[in-house]
Amino acid sequence: MTPFWKLSAAGFAATAIAYGPARMGFGLFLPEFRSVFSISLQAAGFISSLGFFGFFVGLLISQFLTARRGPRPPIVLGLAAATTGMSLVAVASNLTVLSLGVLLAMLSAGFSWTPFSDAINRQVEERLRPVSLSLVSTGTGLGIVAAGAAALLMSIGGVSWRLCWALFAVGSAFALLCNWIALSGAGEASGVRRPLRWQALFRRATTPIFAIGLCYGVTSTVYISFAADRIAQAGGVPGLPANLSGSLVFICYGAFGLLGLVTGQIKTLTGLPWLLRLLLLASALSSVLIALAPASWAGVVVSAGLQGINVMMTSAVLAFWSDRLFPAFPSRGFTAVLLAVATGSVLGPVAAGSFASHFGVTAMFLATAALAASAALAIRSGYISETPHPE
C-alpha cells in the first residue's frame, strides 16, 4: 500500500473514532446517562466541560510529543485513551467512573488530528497532500453519522447503551492497531528544533482568528452537549421514541457536515469575512430552532444540519486561515488556534448548564444563539486578514 493510502486510511479511522463517538458520545447518550445516573443539567455541563478540558490538555501534550518524538506516539496514545475511556463508560457503575471515561475518551481528540499534518508532510508527495488531509478530516463527519446510526439501531433493537459503548471501544482498538502499523515509518521528530516562541503568534492581525475560535468553541459544544437531551425532554419528534430522537440529531449533524469538503470553493466565492458571518448566523439559527422547535421534524433536521455545516466548515476555515497567518510555524499556529477553541469548549457547557438550571433550557439555547449572532455582526472586513504573519 502506498504512503498516500496507508496514512489517509489510518487518519480517517483515527478521526472517525476521536471526533465521532469519543468526542460526541456523551451528548449523544446524555438522556440515558441522566436517567441511569440521575445527572442534573448543571452536572451534565460540568462533565462535558471536563471532557473538553481533556481535549485542551491533549492538544498541549500532542504538540510536545510531535515536536520531540514524531507523529506516531501522540496518535497511538490518543487512540489508547479513547479505547480505555469508552471501555470505562461501558462498565461505569457510578458518576465518578462515567466522568473519568468521558474525560479519557475526549482526551483522544486533542491527540489525534494535528500530528497527521506532520506524518503526511513527511511521507506523501506534495501534489497528493491536500487530498490526503481532506480524507483524514472526512473521518469526523462519517464517525458522527456512524455513532448516531449505531445508537439509533441499538435503541430500536432494545440493546443496552453499554453494549453500544463497548462496540465503540472495540472499533477504537481496531483503529489503534491500524495506526500502530501504518505509522511505523513516520519517523522521529526533525533534528532541527526551532525555539517555541508562542508570543510571536499573538498580534493585532491574529486577534480575530482566536476570538472566533473561542466563540466557536462555546457555541458548538453547548449544542453537542445538550441538543439531544433538549429533544428527549420535549418528547421527541413524531414517530420516534423520545430516547431515539437524539440519534437523529447526530446523524443529520454528521451527514450535512460533509459539506465541509467544499469550504475552500465557497470561500473563493464569498470571501473569508462573509463566509465567517454566514457560518456564525447558521450556528445562531441552529440554536434558535432547537430552542423553539425541539419536537418538530423540520426544526430538528434543519437545526442539526446547520450546526453540522457550521462545525465542519468552521473547522476547515480555521485550518486554512491559520495556515495563511502562520506559514513559518503552521503546526504551532494551528495548535494555538485549537487551544482557543478548546478554551471555549471548556467554558461553554459548564456555563450553559448553570444558566439552564436557573433560567431554563430554552433560554440557554437562545442565549447561545445571541452570542453567535453578535459575533457575526461584530465582524469587520478590514480586520479579517489572511496576510502571512511575520515570524
Q: What is the CATH number of the domain that holds 133?
A: 1.20.1250.20
Do 118 and 267 share a structural domain? no
Residue 191: inside a domain, yes or no?
no
Residue 13 C-alpha cell reads as 479511522
Do 65 and 181 share a structural domain? yes
Residue 192: inside a domain, yes or no?
no
Do 246 and 349 share a structural domain? yes
State how far Cα 28 lies from the chain centre. Answer: 13
Whole-structure pTM value: 0.84
Do 133 and 75 share a structural domain? yes
Do 22 and 79 share a structural domain? yes
Residue 19 C-alpha cell reads as 471526533
Do 181 and 34 share a structural domain? yes
Do 278 and 374 share a structural domain? yes
Residue 373: inside a domain, yes or no?
yes
Do 114 and 208 share a structural domain? no
Q: Which amino acid is at 196?
A: L
Last residue of a domain, one of 156, 186, 216: 186
Do 216 and 127 share a structural domain? no
Residue 197: inside a domain, yes or no?
no
Residue 96: inside a domain, yes or no?
yes
Range of the domain at 243: 202-391
Do 153 and 238 share a structural domain? no
Last residue of a domain, one of 161, 186, 211: 186
Do 122 and 57 share a structural domain? yes
Per-residue pLDDT tens digits of the chain, which is 391 residues long: 788 888 889 988 999 999 899 988 998 898 889 889 999 989 999 999 999 999 899 988 988 888 888 889 999 999 999 999 999 999 999 999 999 999 999 999 989 877 887 787 778 887 777 677 777 877 888 888 888 888 888 778 888 899 999 999 999 999 999 999 988 876 555 544 555 566 667 777 788 999 999 999 999 999 999 998 899 889 888 887 776 777 888 899 989 988 887 887 888 899 999 999 999 999 999 999 999 999 999 999 999 999 999 998 898 888 778 877 877 776 677 788 889 999 999 999 999 999 999 999 999 999 999 999 999 999 987 777 766 655 4
104 touches 54 (CB < 8 A) = yes
Last residue of a domain, one of 186, 216, 250: 186
Place of cell 456512524: 146
Residue 196: inside a domain, yes or no?
no
Those residues whose C-beta lies under 8 Å from the C-beta of residue 170, and which sit 6 or more positions away, are none
Residue 378 C-alpha cell reads as 461584530
Please state the domain count of the chain. Answer: 2
Question: What whole-number distance in Å separates Cα of residue 94 and Cα of residue 96?
Answer: 6
